[in-house]
Amino acid sequence: MPSIIEGYNYDIFISYRQKDNKHDGWVTEFVNNLKGELESTFKEEISVYFDINPHDGLLETHDVDASLQEKLKCLVFIPVISRTYCDPKSFAWKHEFKSFVEQASQDQFGLKVKLPNGNVASRVLPIRIYDLNKADIKLCEEVLGGVLRSVDFIYKSAGVNRPLRADEDHPQDNTNKTYYRDQINKVANSINEIISGLKNERMEFEGETKEIVSTIEKPPLQDKSIIVLPFENMSSDSEQEYFSDGLTEEIITALSNIRDLLVISRNSAMTFKGTKKKTIEIASEVNVRYVLEGSVRKSGNNLRITAQLINALTDAHIWADKYSGTLDDVFDIQEKVSQSIVEALKIKLVPEEKQKILARPIDNFLVYDLHIKDQNALLASTDEGFKRALQYINQGLEIIGENEILYADMGQVYMHYIEMGVDRGEHNFKKAEECIEKVFSLNPNSANGYYLRGHLKLWRGHVKESIKDLKQALLIDPNHFSSNLILCSIYTTEGKQDSARQITQRLLKIDPLNPWSYLMSGAVEMFDGQFNQSLGFFQKGYELEPLPFLKFWIAMELAYNNKLEEACQLLNSVSIEAPGTVWGQMALFSLHAIQGEKSKALEMVNEDFRIAMKADPWIAILTAESYALMGLKEESIEWVEKGVHCTMPFLNYPFLSKSDPLLENIRGEERFKKLMERVKYEWENFEV
């Protein structure tokens, strides 16, 4: 039976390893149950290709025949992901999974489809039947080109990790709290959404609540806007990667000093390293008019660098040049490229901008690479990641000696220890202060120094002084990402959403592929009561980088939208992925509260828990929400008070008094009303 869409041979292709079916027939049972669910989901007959014939020529013990490509011409590809499936040498992986991704990426629809609810999904719908290790997850994500999002059929209990069965003897012991019948239904509904998206249909279900839709809109295209793509390494010498990446970083840094030019940040630009996307696609993705691309070839001490500037609106080459020289000339070449771009775009520089373009904060490409690595390590937000970052920084200092940028990076690590709740000991505050002194001793007018000092003052409880330093950092460097981020978090916490939103709009312009841009954008909308809008930002951030704290905020947004079952699944996942962090603890505490497991939640509350949760105003309010859900009103109000009395006080009166749905049952309490009178006064009198 052909596909319901003309030109395709099947609606669904089931891919699996024979090892996962031959003993208990799990895959066969799954397919039969799915077919039954599809009959009650679709009006049309849905064709499913499932190979159970060992002589069909499609199994891993047989050669590939020509019919496979035709059978892979389907709408939805379902790989049954197991530990044995994640084998790049296997037939299913190589000739089915990878082949479908390559084939679908080039057909009329592409690999990703816009769903009726406005979100985007892959036509690959993984079914996971075992928990995977990180290496296997990475293998899957390399093929998919993004985060592995699966419907899980996994039974977990103490010492048990196996496929979920249709008839479980003890379903209540499954710590994943999933049920076979529900998961089958989720698969059928997901297929329905994907096929409806391919057919460009809207799905409306009577009686359902409004779907959560991501409505992230691009800002208007700025005429003077550019992305500097990672320069391509044209040599087999892996060392030249340092030079190509370092040259890219240098040009981005130089151009970012020009106020009339919007320059996409290094974080977003480097996501296109090695990409095969066309120039016009890249420009559209980051919303710029111009694209600079180039290459670096190194032979011994000699360099040959090419660069070309393209108008993405017309695909016309505005300027191109080639440069030859030695390693000693590389910074001169970078300056020539930057100056050529300025001239081609007819930008008039003021003397201060000219001076900044000529500045060389790090003049060693190997050290630049270590700087890039330490910034990436910070994203993990774990003790292991922070230790890795410090190793890279110390390696850089050994090579280059005292350096403003590296000491600023080191200060940022210690501030992350504090901010992420990994280690808030006084020793980290003192180490951060030492780094700030080093930075200012090397550059009294350092944007990095003002940022770090402002951030540290914030944690010391000096909010107004913090704002002053952060604003000074942004006067020196309006594109300073961290200063924008922290200042935005202050405005959000104090309930000044309009001021915060101005900053997030700039963050999304200069760094549109950085997950932190979307974390802060989501937070601004969330604390403004715009829960549908904020969920879209958090989801986009997680797509860019699957970080546990982003998953946590997605879970809380689902809770705010009364999607409690989905919220619990994500909270459980975060508690497993990040057990030693504030986010992992908060996820588990919230999970117990939502599920009505009061005794389990209260068992977690010891002195360490209280210290960790009351240090951050957002976490304190989350804790108050959990107590409110458990019906412990006095304790809930006490935690709201803790949030209000934090070093960065939570004064967002509209959120506390009205918007937060999880605090609804304490709003009638006299103690809460009196507290809100004080919060309202301070909120109204807080000057931005």
Q: What residues contact residue 146 under an 8 Å CB cut-off, 6+ apart?
A: 122, 543
Residue 62 has pLDDT above 80, yes or no: no
Residue 117 has pLDDT above 80, yes or no: no
Distance CA 662, CA 679 (A): 18
The pLDDT tens digits of the residues spanning 239-290 come to 567 667 777 888 888 888 888 899 998 888 988 888 888 888 899 889 999 9
Q: Which CATH superfamily is domain 10-198 in?
A: Response regulator (3.40.50.2300)
- What tokens appear for 81 in the block? 């992901």
Residue 102 has pLDDT above 50, yes or no: yes
Percentages of the chain per state (helix, strand, coil), in multiples of 5: 55, 10, 35
* Strand-pair category, 302-311 with 290-299: antiparallel
Do the beta carbons of residue 50 and residue 127 sit within 8 Å? Answer: no
* pLDDT over 90, % of the chain: 45
Do the beta carbons of residue 559 and residue 547 sit within 8 Å? Answer: no
> How much is the pLDDT for 242?
60
> How much is the pLDDT for 527?
94
Do the beta carbons of residue 344 and residue 309 sit within 8 Å? Answer: yes
> How much is the pLDDT for 116?
66
> How much is the pLDDT for 54?
45
> How much is the pLDDT for 216?
57
Q: What residues contact residue 157 under an 8 Å CB cut-off, 6+ apart?
A: 173, 174, 175
Q: Locate the domains of the chain by residue range.
A: 10-198, 225-360
Weakest mean pLDDT among 32-41, 302-311, 358-367, 460-469: 358-367
Weakest mean pLDDT among 183-197, 204-218, 628-642, 649-663: 204-218
* Strand-pair category, 74-81 with 127-128: parallel
Instruction: pLDDT band for 210, please (50, 70, 90 cuts).
Output: very low
> How much is the pLDDT for 148?
78
Instruction: pLDDT band for 53, please (50, 70, 90 cuts).
Output: low
Instruction: pLDDT band for 372, please (50, 70, 90 cuts).
Output: confident
The pLDDT tens digits of the residues spanning 429-439 come to 999 999 999 99
SS3 318: strand
> How much is the pLDDT for 686?
87
- For the chain, give the mean pLDDT: 86
Q: Does domain 225-360 have CATH number 3.30.750.24?
A: no
Could you check whether 10-198 and 225-360 share the same CATH topology? yes
The pLDDT tens digits of the residues spanning 522-579 come to 999 999 998 888 988 999 898 888 888 899 999 999 999 888 989 999 999 999 888 8
